[in-house]
Amino acid sequence: MASEDARPAGTADIAAHAFTGPVRPVPGTPLPELLGAVAEGRADATALVAPDATYTYGALHARVQRLARRLLAEGVGAEDLVAVLLPRTADSVVALLAVLTAGATYVPVDSGYPHQRITGMLADARPRLLLTTRDFAARLAPGVPALCLDDPGSAAATDALPCDPVADAERTRPLRPHDAAYVLFTSGSTGRPKGVVVEHRSLMNLIVSHRELFFGPATRHLGRERLRVAHTAALSFDAAWDPVLWLFEGHELHLVDDDVRRDPALLVTYITEHRVDVVETTPTLAEQLDRGGLFDTGLPHRLGVLALGGEAIGPVQWDRLRALPHLLALNLYGPSECTVDAFVAPLAEHPSPTIGRRPVPNTRAYVLDAQGEPCAPGETGELHLAGAGVARGYLGRPDLTAELFVPDPWQPDGARMYCTGDLVRQSPDGTLVFVGRADHQVKLHGQRLELSEVEQVLLGHARVAQCAVLLREDSPGARRLVAYAVGEGCVPEELRAYAAESLAAYMVPSAVVVLDALPLSPNGKLDRSALPAPGFGAPAGCGREPSTPAEKLLCRLFADVLGLGDADIDGIGPEDDFFLRGGDSMGAIRLVAAAREEGLTLRLQDVFEHRTAETLAAFAADQL
């Protein structure tokens, strides 16, 4: 044993301040073999319910094996990157499983992203192959090798392949635990998304963790061996893996289509009609589902398990969910760099919001100060995570990997820990409480984004000389991304449109404020506290008053959702664009829910297509 003097600084204190998950064995069984075992034992059980098709485990497994063989025939080998750009159909799940089965690395690309962002991700990833449709392939540069799953000839060739389990002899080499399973692109501070590389061993550890902390408690809570699980996350988001992993345990996965998953009222209807047992979503959307009646006592079916992640749960929502006796509510915390979930906290066990008391199996958590020393209870420090869930690093970014994946000084040589950038403190009851961020990374609508990435994109505009981006909350619950630009001839809406060409929708600022200069602190740094709140107001004297009951109702709802007044300069007129006045996708969800409460049935896509009270009122004229 090493002497006390030979141990790293802080080692004497780490035992008292480390948060250590239970040690559990992680099977070396590859994920494809797990799925094969389930398919063999439950061939006729429903595995996947998608918008376009329903598959039993036997049928799903057969399709996966055929597509995996097609990938191998196309020359895909071990750890080759295979990008998947598909609509939200059964094929998107089949493709994911087939890539893993072939021994390659899965790279999801969100079909809803702007063209520029998609091409940038593909350029960074340089995939060996792209699985897509003819429509998407036609929009991409010809240099990307593509296999179009909807091409009749290609589909026929795939369907003619054998459907028995792919063997190691058919792969370029046997599957290994340290092989890369997937690459997930997250927001990057340089304006360039960074790809997180996660290995099979980490996914297997997540399954082990969920068996103990998620799958097991859920089945015991509901008293059934097989549950119906809704998949509501974007396929390019790390939370997309949680529902997929239920397939490896023999449950029934419901891939909810985009229109339904984004509309709380439609999602409540889907959950009720399909008797869904488990939903994982963000606290923001869960609140909208609650308002939409998800937990009403009169429903013919009530949701039994709700897992929340992606952002912090507020005290009011925490208390509300804890008080529902029929509901098992879980708080999930974890960055993409640590394989989705590092803490799972049942709300019933904690009287107030917390990350948890103990991390998931085979995981260690440290709260460290700026010098890398353990913080005492009650002191705020940065959360560092170590153990089986830590990712390999960032694709093609050794500098950034070395910066954020650092040696763990309290473990044997080679062990690493990830610097999360999350500030936490240990509360008196021994749990960890989230305090905020140590950098300019924020969470909006459950998605992580770097403010500097948005800034870098806007700085690419020819007229922008300086730029700053803030996540503001100028009224309770109204969190909006606001950009501040300095430059000759800058026009706010031109800059918003420019940003929308290359940023995901949730990253596009709700408002752009043009300034003569950015405010500076006495030491010459940007004074973010001095940046003015955007008015989101229409120019004085513009527009007209609402003239019909529908216009009056919608103007009032616009103002309520946007947190604006209804009798002053910030009032909403029927010609005002909801999104140009500060609305965003979550605001549109709230608008749809509020309209339904007033007897006006709208879909989320209606708000995006008819962006003013005038056009929405005309569209819905027959309802009022």
Of 259, 249, 319, which is closest to residue 283 (Cα–Cα)?
319
pLDDT at 540 over 60: no
Ranking 107-111, 392-396, 493-497 by mean pLDDT, the lowest is 493-497
* Of the residues 465, 495, 530, the one at which a domain ends: 530
**Does 553 lie in the same domain as 526?**
no
Q: Which of 149-163, 248-262, 608-622 has the lowest mean pLDDT?
A: 608-622
- Residue 623 has a pLDDT of 62
Q: What's the pLDDT tens digit per position in 381-399?
A: 999 999 999 999 999 999 9
> Count of domains in the chain?
2
- Domain-terminating residue out of 498, 530, 562: 530
Of 534, 532, 572, 538, the C-alpha closest to 553 is 572
pLDDT band at 5 (very low <50, low <70, confident <90, very high): very low
Share of the chain above pLDDT 70, in %: 92
pLDDT recorded at residue 56: 99
Q: Tell whether 445 and 476 lie within a shared domain.
A: yes
Q: Give the mean pLDDT of 401-418.
A: 93
Model pLDDT, residue 101: 98
Residues 455, 485 within the same domain: yes
Q: How confident is the model at residue 588 (pLDDT cuts 50, 70, 90)?
A: confident
Same domain flag for 446 and 514: yes
pLDDT digits 0-9 by tens, 37-56: 999 999 999 999 999 999 99
Residue 518 maps to a domain = yes
User: Domain limits at 525?
Assistant: 441-530
What integer is the mean pLDDT of 56-78? 98
The predicted pLDDT at position 4 comes to 33
Mean pLDDT of the 485-493 span? 91
Residues 522, 556 within the same domain: no
Two tokens, residue 506: 């949730």
Binning pLDDT at 50, 70 and 90, where does residue 9 land?
very low
Is residue 504 situated within a structural domain?
Answer: yes
Residues 6 or more apart whose Cβ sits within 8 Å of residue 483: 454, 455, 458, 467, 468, 469, 495, 499, 509, 511, 512, 513
Q: Does residue 8 surpass a pLDDT of 50?
A: no
The CATH number of whichever domain residue 452 belongs to comes to 3.30.300.30
| Long-range pairs of 559-562 with CB within 8 A, sequence gap ≥ 24 | 560/594, 561/587, 561/590, 561/591, 561/594, 562/478, 562/536, 562/587
pLDDT band at 524 (very low <50, low <70, confident <90, very high): low
Q: Supply the pLDDT for residue 112.
A: 87
DSSP string over 362-411: TEEEEEE-TTSPBPPTT-EEEEEEEETT---EETT-HHHHHHHEEE-TTS
The answer to the question of residue 125 being in a domain is no
Per-residue model confidence as pLDDT tens digits over 594-616: 888 888 888 888 888 888 999 99
What pTM value is reported for the model?
0.82
**φ, ψ (nearest 5 deg) of residue 45:** -80, 145
Q: Is residue 560 part of a domain?
A: yes
Q: What was the pLDDT predicted at 130?
A: 98
